[in-house]
Structure 1
């Protein structure tokens, strides 16, 4: 197991015996490596360990705590299965040296994972990850474990998280929320979100009954990822049945939030870029971001956030993908990534938090429908359209071959627009640490292709900007979407030999 590597969000793998699988031996070695890293760097304090409802998560969390205790590290175990943002909150609230969350978030039911937070409440990042990987590689074959009972985190911690989250909605904000349908996608966010929702004073929502209870088999979806086609079908059906105006969904560990709005006779899923822009404009316009507050997003997100920040006299910073980078931007007051992750309260949770984001989305929708807000953004900043896609592959070498093909033999045109630049993101000179990926630009169209850091797939991020202001926002949005659809097909023709799974 010397090849343990921390990806975008920690360690994730299919559960099973042997190297390359997620099992108690891997958890033990990872926990030994974490304890060694903390000791060698003289980082004092306890480690808090949380877990979700996936197969084996409680057992893996107990294993992690036993190894950490054996290494002489005070360890606090969360009292029950809880969303990832609660664990991220706990790290700082409890003045912990580090945090461990046993979760594979939105990955398939066969997977589990080990996510590490450091004392500042942010996910582990270079150079700490490399140092911890080295410590894991040096772990003994028989990692010591303690039989002493561990200490449980008090429920007061959950109450503190709820109080902070609910306080993000101003007392004078509209509370007559639109009709809402909600699903936790068989995950652990449902109970915590319901408490936050009710305490914030919003009207009751209609929950998707088939997906309300935690179920590690995720029986109603092919993939428990709200970005995936079909994942929100039951939510849309519930919304139609109760005549809802808005659909809210969390991924299984509650750190992501998906949104659907009415679209004719049905419902349309908003992209992460659309929700990210709506939240940014709302927070800025309502004075909740200080004058020196920085906005942040990633290199695969729409350029719209840059325009919003500039219009409000704020700075916008772009990082590599993942909140381990976004949360570390100096002075960050708001951050989002296009993969449905939003950090609206970095002072409380220095990571994406789907629960706090959902409350602010409901606050926005209670005052002005989100569709109208999107049109207002288009009138002020121009129409911006994103069209993420993904190509699943079980062969990492095949993904690498496809990226090299795109880099070495890119298309001459995207949707009829000449390609004017192809950038290898792994080469120096980009202003950011090298990362595996290729950026292709053709006029106002930009495409970034990179391997997912959490799942076996190749991700394609497409976005395009229109003229400002548009005469008919819906028509221009539809026209630009068609342009990106064509550009996406052309890129997939270059990335041959792989099976495509488009995201809605």
Structure 2
């Protein structure tokens, strides 16, 4: 970096410091300005751009600068949100906005800033008094008839992250063009110090700050309780649960207790919210080692079920005892849990007279739910990745076609049941999976047995991933280069399988490799490439929307012959997955 360029950067940093209302981030940036040359890279990254406001809202590392998550960014974003809501809803100043936060670092402070800025625009804030799970925040938006909701959370990201998740009046996450319109307004926001705010006491006196009471929680728990399909089953199952230092413990235990699952033990070291996440390297139940303490407790308690929510309790991991599994417990994939939930909801209660049922899954989830739905005469569609798209499409089909939404899921441990929450809900999923396990136990089967029965009927669908993390601006460019290469020069084969067609969702096209013919697809544009392979296999590639990584999803279907040992089919499917993963890593040059 040249001296002139660095001098320009220093001037930009000083201007930001001058406008930053937070003494902590001001001091942090000043120390980087005063540090030796190695700090230049850090400063350059913090000011390489601004956190992108998209359909996931904001998410980033906590720290000073426009490319970090901080009070200045939250203030300016909320200024833009308030302005936008006033243009969209004539009654915004009556209906207000739900404001909620989890247990991460700075979550409470960011939520207070949100409420303060909204009050300055005469928009009431309906604020939870303490940390809550994300599903409760989404539920509250619809339940209260608010025009929007802000949840301060970074979900399952590493401890240094926080975020700003925006819900629309429907209780679902925003979709385009709302994100684009708000992002444009953010660029017009005044410097953070000049963003008007109203102190909490004054806002409350002016009826612009309302603390929510326990009635919201009660209404949510009643709705979860109403999902029950079978009141019986073996309800004395022993359950071990961990919120991974997040905010799910109290509400999960209440929901289980009301469903008559009373033998529940929480992992004591991880039960209370702690934004440092001291016992896990990565607070995501998909990550290796994150559930080690839960498994250790489960072995001592001889647990029948093990559950883990991520820190904001919108995702759920499930495990059961299995002597053949490492550590004695088998952890199911998100696809397996999604199939168990979807099949149970579709088969254990017949549709009402004339009811047109639908189930949805994200594009990167297993195609197995679609096969089950087809066999049962249930409408099935795949959406873009992200629950915002599942909720959006569900509401479209409800309104335009009269469908009843039964279930939706994505492979990254996200599930939603009916229309209680228009987003992932790891709490209602805990209760329903417990019910399924209880009903099966009474019938002499386990969740694993049920998955085998389904595979023998519909085929063994197996899925794998190749994920590569690349942090910072340089990493982001490397991820973009991989996507460009796949678009411009896609492979003609992956391992022993031929590429039948290449789907570019950003361009809205499917190109057949054999004759080069191109057809259009109906999905909204998104940075996703799908390689459809021979043998009904596929590889889907996309940059993550919430983490600095490229994600490659591999799906295969293995038929099972009558009388064949299930383990033999599993080995064949795994061998195919491993071969495709190795070949695709080589194609990317990883």
TM class by shorter chain equals over 0.9
Instruction: Give distance in 1, aligned partners of 2:63 and 2:588.
Output: 31
- Say if 1:108 and 1:224, in contact at 8 Å, map to a contact too: yes
Q: CA deviation at 1:212?
A: 1.4
Instruction: Give distance in 2, aligned partners of 1:43 and 1:350.
Output: 24
Partner residue, 2:571: 478
RCO comparison, higher one (Cα < 8 Å, 6+): 1
SS in 2 for 1:248: strand
What is the aligned length?
496
Instruction: Give distance in 1, aligned partners of 2:334 and 2:90.
Output: 36
Q: CA deviation at 1:239?
A: 1.9
Kindly indicate whether residue 151 of structure 2 is the aligned counterpart of residue 101 of structure 1.
Answer: yes
CA offset digits 1:65-108 (Å, max 9, x no partner): 00001011011111210000000000011110110000000001
Between 1:480-489 and 1:20-29, the stretch displaced more is 480-489
Larger Rg: 2
CA RMSD, Structure 1 to Structure 2 (Å): 1.8
Q: Which of the two has greater helix per residue?
A: 2
Between 1:147-156 and 1:20-29, the stretch displaced more is 147-156
Partner residue, 1:501: none
Runs of at least 5 residues in structure 1 that lack an aligned partner in the other structure: 498-504
Q: CA deviation at 1:289?
A: 5.9
CA offset digits 1:164-204 (Å, max 9, x no partner): 11222246232524332211111000111011111110131
Q: CA deviation at 1:243?
A: 2.0
- Counterpart among 556, 562, 578 of residue 464 in structure 1: 556
Instruction: Give distance in 2, aligned partners of 1:288 and 1:71.
Output: 49
SS in 2 for 1:356: helix
Between 1:351-360 and 1:163-172, the stretch displaced more is 163-172
What TM-score results when the alignment is normalised by the length of structure 1?
Answer: 0.94
SS in 2 for 1:327: helix
Partner residue, 1:502: none
Partner residue, 2:162: 112
- Say if 1:297 and 1:336, in contact at 8 Å, map to a contact too: yes
Partner residue, 2:371: 307
Q: CA deviation at 1:3?
A: 4.3
Kindly indicate whether residue 403 of structure 2 is the aligned counterpart of residue 351 of structure 1.
Answer: no
1:131-170 maps to which residues of 2 (within 5 A)?
Answer: 131-141=181-191, 142-147=194-199, 148=202, 149=204, 150-170=209-229
Instruction: Give distance in 1, aligned partners of 2:304 and 2:568.
Output: 22
Partner residue, 1:404: 484
Aligned pair in 2 of structure 1 residues 164, 19: CA closer, same or farther (>3 Å)? Answer: same
CA offset digits 1:467-504 (Å, max 9, x no partner): 1566323321232022112211221222235xxxxxxx
- Say if 2:142 and 2:169, in contact at 8 Å, map to a contact too: yes
- Counterpart among 256, 262, 282 of residue 203 in structure 1: 262
Partner residue, 2:409: 336
SS in 2 for 1:193: helix
- Say if 1:378 and 1:469, in contact at 8 Å, map to a contact too: no
- Say if 2:249 and 2:266, in contact at 8 Å, map to a contact too: no
SS in 2 for 1:228: coil
Instruction: Give distance in 2, aligned partners of 1:414 and 1:339.
Output: 24
Partner residue, 1:292: 356
Partner residue, 1:77: 127
SS in 1 for 2:356: coil
1:24-39 maps to which residues of 2 (within 5 A)?
Answer: 24-39=71-86
Instruction: Give distance in 1, aligned partners of 2:351 and 2:76.
Output: 41
Instruction: Give distance in 2, aligned partners of 1:277 and 1:6.
Output: 33
CA offset digits 1:231-276 (Å, max 9, x no partner): 1222222222222232111000000011122333422221111111
- Say if 1:182 and 1:207, in contact at 8 Å, map to a contact too: yes
Instruction: Give distance in 1, aligned partners of 2:55 and 2:543.
Output: 11
Partner residue, 1:420: 500
Partner residue, 1:278: 340
Between 1:161-170 and 1:96-105, the stretch displaced more is 161-170
Q: CA deviation at 1:6?
A: 3.2
Instruction: Give distance in 1, aligned partners of 2:572 and 2:129.
Output: 51
Aligned pair in 2 of structure 1 residues 267, 220: CA closer, same or farther (>3 Å)? Answer: same
- Counterpart among 466, 478, 482 of residue 389 in structure 1: 466
Runs of at least 5 residues in structure 2 that lack an aligned partner in the other structure: 1-46, 399-404, 441-445, 509-519
- Counterpart among 426, 440, 455 of residue 378 in structure 1: 455
Partner residue, 2:432: 360
Q: CA deviation at 1:447?
A: 0.9
SS in 1 for 2:303: coil
Instruction: Give distance in 2, aligned partners of 1:342 and 1:289.
Output: 21
Instruction: Give distance in 2, aligned partners of 1:241 and 1:289.
Output: 42
